[in-house]
Every structure is written in structure tokens, then in C-alpha cells.
Structure 1
């Protein structure tokens, strides 16, 4: 790699071509695939003064000859951070399509907005611009990540196509988007004040009044404030209409994973209360897998929600005063819990290589409403049995399911159970509120 260090320079600057080669070499064994041309092909913002690599910003420097360069140590640090990221290709998050996603041209100076970029390109199947890009061999990278290698397309009923990416990559790209916003804001502030000649080269770097550099070890959320129940007890329908709420939400770290910037307000669709600001990844993980309005499939991710990270998620769901007062969960979550936990022993298994394998996929539907618990009935069944043997496993009345959940909650998360029920109704709406339509999936907008 003879071009890597520029001759005659002592500050470790390398050309963009050398940086491309170095980035590809350092991340060759990364779990997250990286793209060629990370520094030289759009959406690399070279002329804007920076290049995004995962959740890291590498500043660009323009030499007296007009040639753009970057510092080799920063490329190596960005590669080390990306190499430390693990990725489960089976843990997917839906990223499109969205009817309300705005069209956006991908200029070099355009902010990342990675969801719009992906959706915009995939919706132009067969378009002349896309064909020209393919013939030219232009790599499909976002923040140095080759998203095309890991994009999953799913088709339902032979017509509706959806696109999915691994959760680890979604979190990386969300962090990159937040980092870019913070970097650009810092650069503009410094230019306006003329106090410092250049902006920080990494979101974790800042300079104090004396010009000395200070570093925070907390990563991309270092500039974010933790959520401390500031929105507790507020109705989503009211809060979402207040001006400036979206900007306020973006200043919090995700209340669930605490490692990514918040992008949406998660709320209880049955009682209407705000739970907390969360990142898009956690919001997707929390959402039930609806087939219809009263029918869900219980996918493998519920193992995390109800077992490995149960206490964190139960605490999050009980941020809703309505669910906490009644010591229960919203009906879709209670249905998923009933199928996955309470009816686990009823799920049949078939012989498979290495032992027996649980049959098919659990599915739960319900009739009636939580507002009329006497008439509400949960039906647990098995879909996709290879032998076509199994249908209905159990029918559980709502009140029985809620009582079983209370017992399990006290054993699994005593601290959460101690803050709940029994039916403390002070301050709750006098009349049951209708389920609030979920707007998070349309354009992935805040509200």
C-alpha cells in the first residue's frame, strides 16, 4: 500500500484514494460489510469537510494544492469501532417502503438520511439513473457500509414488497445520521463564533475555552441526555401537537437500549399515554407482529422481550399509567406473552436432526376488547406445521391471561410488580380511549 502515506508529510495525512484502500483493508473481516469508495463516492461529504464511517466522523483537509486528504489515525479508529460491532443477520428491522418518504436527490452535500436514500433507489427499479450507476460500477455504500449485501426483500401475497436490514446496521446508520447532525451543527456554531478554526473531528471530541481538547468515552450518545421520566403521564395525542416536541425528543438517548439517539415517542395505543423516547430499532422490536388488527404471530424475538431482557422491557411497558395501574400489558403484548410464556408447554414438537424441534410458529388472535374483559378471548394456535396436524392449542379468557401475567410479573420482575396495581385509577381518563393509530411506520416520522 505504497500510496497510503503522502510523501513529505509528517502529520499522517493520506489521500482519499489511499483512505479508500486502507478502509477496505482494515474492515475486510468485519461482520458488517463495507463498501469501496467510502471517501470518493457519494454520499461521502468530502467537500463539506467530513466523511461518515459508521457512527464516526473523519474530517477532511484540503491541501494548498487543492487535493483533499484525511488523517490516517482517524480512518484506523473508525475501522476499529466498526470491527467491534456484532451483527445477527436474522434479527431484522423493516426499513421500507413508505408511502410518505420524500424524494431526495443524493448530492455530495446532502445529509445522510439513509432510509430515504435506500427507499428512493429501490423504488426506481429499472430507472435510467440506476442503470447508469450500475454500469459505472458505483458502490452502494452509506457511511462506508455496503447495505446492498445485507438488504433482505420480503414479498407478501406476491405483490407487496418490503425491505429489511439487520438491527445492528440500522443502529449504526441511525448513529451516523445523529453524528452528522451534531457535527454540522458544531461546525456552523464554530464558524459563526470564529473562536475555533475547525470543528471537532469526532462527535466525542470538543475543545474548552483554552483550546485544550477533551474527550468523552461514552460514544455517540455522549451529547444526549438520559430520559428521566420527563414525559410521564402525558397523553401522546396532546404532546405530539406541541411545537418543538420532535426537536426535544431528538435530544434524548433511547430510554430502552441507552446506546442510540431517540427518534420516536413510543406510546401505549390502548391508554394513549407516552412511554418514553426510543430509537427506531427499539421501537420496531417493541411493536407486535400484527397480521391483522386482532391477530399476531409470535416470532423468535419475543424470547428477548419476555426472557433475556424481560425486566427492561416490562419496566418500559409499565411507563404507561394505565398498564401500570391494571398490572397488565396492552392487549397485543398480553396476547404474545400468553402464547409465548403461558402456553409454552402446550407447543408440540417434531423429530429433527439432533433432537426435537418446536413445531411451526405460534399465532394468537382475540375476539372482543380489553374494555369488555368478560367477552375477550385469546386463541393460541400453531401455523406452518410441516405435517398439517396442529391448529388450536388453547383458548384463554382475557381475565385469566391477565391474572397469569400478574403472577409471572411478580416472580420475574419484582421491582416492576411493586410499582404496579392493583387498579390505581387516579388520574386515568374516565372513558376508555380508542387505540391511537400508529404513525411511526409511515415515513418513519416522529409523529
Structure 2
């Protein structure tokens, strides 16, 4: 039976009240892995997301199974071991595909150093910035970052700081020499990393020809039935190129409403099925069909970023005749 995200969150929270691992049921609302593989993880338990009548929902049976499994998960909180965190590396020094992959230890290190850098640079002119924030202090944290500050920052951004739907900082401790976590929790996160990698690799496969796509900037696109993976050649063969036939048409007009955007190829990236008619919000004119990724980027990025990073973006914006 399909249930709403809100009800799924409430049900899951009730089922896992006695769980030993600290869980964040709000993950069911935010759906962090939706675009990558269509599941929400709690530890190594993957809950599938479904699109039903244009809304993302869950199967109640999946929520109950996940909640019961996590409530029964044994964990000895006194049996702690060294986390063995890797050395810090800058994002710029990493392959984009590498830092997209699931590695919870590396992600934890980036969170620590990211907060230390933010504290060191906040309010200081650029010419005074240095690398002092990279030095690890006696408390195990880099720079002048305190544990209280790290906890506070992680609470503000907990949905990006969570690990597999769990609140890792509630279990992490500093021995004076090493970072420690319960052995069973480390094993749980390691199983999560392996399981999520499997789901991501499966979701990278083109549904039409079976070719596996890139990890970075993949072929997934949002449709009315959910996310679908198609390679650019298969998308080009399946959907129509947009030829500007709605140029000058108002978004609210009957002519636009009679033409489905998802019959077309995205006019910007030209490799995904379109999902929406983008339009000028000031003048109301249709600009063209965009995939979910390009449409979101156009709506949420800065004008400079959109124009710099999306080929053909200036001509796309000028599809509005009044803007032109």
C-alpha cells in the first residue's frame, strides 16, 4: 500500500524508538539518494521510493520491514574500535568520481576539515587566509575547531552530515589519540557503502541498450513515473528535438498545455528526456523543454553560474521575446 512520506516518517520513528543505532527518520522526507538510485538508506537497509500519481511515496510494508530490522539490530556500545580515518585531501585534488563514491570515513574527514576551514576564514579578508586550519589539534579536530562547534554545525546541516540515515556524531568519541566507534556500527556503515555502491552501479545502466553510464554527471532523469536511466544516443532516438514551435507562446496558454514536455529532448544538455516547459517568470513566455537537472540548475544557480556552465544558456534565456 503506498503511503506518504510524512506518514512513512511517523511510522518509522515509532518502530525504531528502541533502536540502538541513532537514526534520523527525516531522511524519509528529504530522500537524499533519490536521484542516484531511488532508495533511502538506514544503515545497510535500503527503502525503495515510488512515484505514485506524481508524488513520491513508499510502500508501507517496506517501512515496517526496515523499522523492525533496525529496532532488532544488536549493538554493544562498549565494544569500540579505532575508526582509522584517512588523511585529508582537498576536493580539487580528487577525481570527481572518487568523491562522489560512498566512503563514510573520507566523508567524515571532509566534514571536520570543512568546518575548520569555515571557522578559520569566516570574517577574514582573503589575503589573510592560510593553511593553519589543516593542523590537527589535541582534541583530534583540525584547526581551532572545538567539539561543541563541530556538533552545532553538524546539527544545522544534519541531512548532509548524516551517514546512511544515522547520526554518526552521537556515537563518535575521541580517546585522546584516536577516534572510536562501536565495532558493530562500523561494520554497519561498511555494509552500507557496499550496498549503496551496488545500487548506484545498477542505476547507471541504460534501460534501453544496457550500456553503463558515468558515475559523475550520469544519465538519470526524472519522469512522471520516477527516475529513468538512458544514454544520450538512446534518448536522442526516443525523444523529439525541440525546434522552437512554442516560441512566443505564453506558459499558461492552452497551446502549451496541449504539448507534453516529456515528448522532447532537453534543449540544453541534449542528452536527457525533458520533464518540464521552462518559461520566463517575468513575462510568461515559454523558453523550451528542460530535463529536471537543467531546470533545477537554471532555477537555483546564480545567473553567472548558469551562463558560464550551461552551453546554449544565453540563447535559451532569450527565447522569451520580451527579454530578447
TM-score (norm 2): 0.47
Answer with 1 or 2: which has the greater Rg.
Answer: 1
Report which structure shows greater RCO (CA 8 Å, sep ≥6): 2
Of Structure 1 and Structure 2, the greater strand share is in: 1
Of Structure 1 and Structure 2, the greater helix share is in: 2
TM-score (norm 1): 0.35
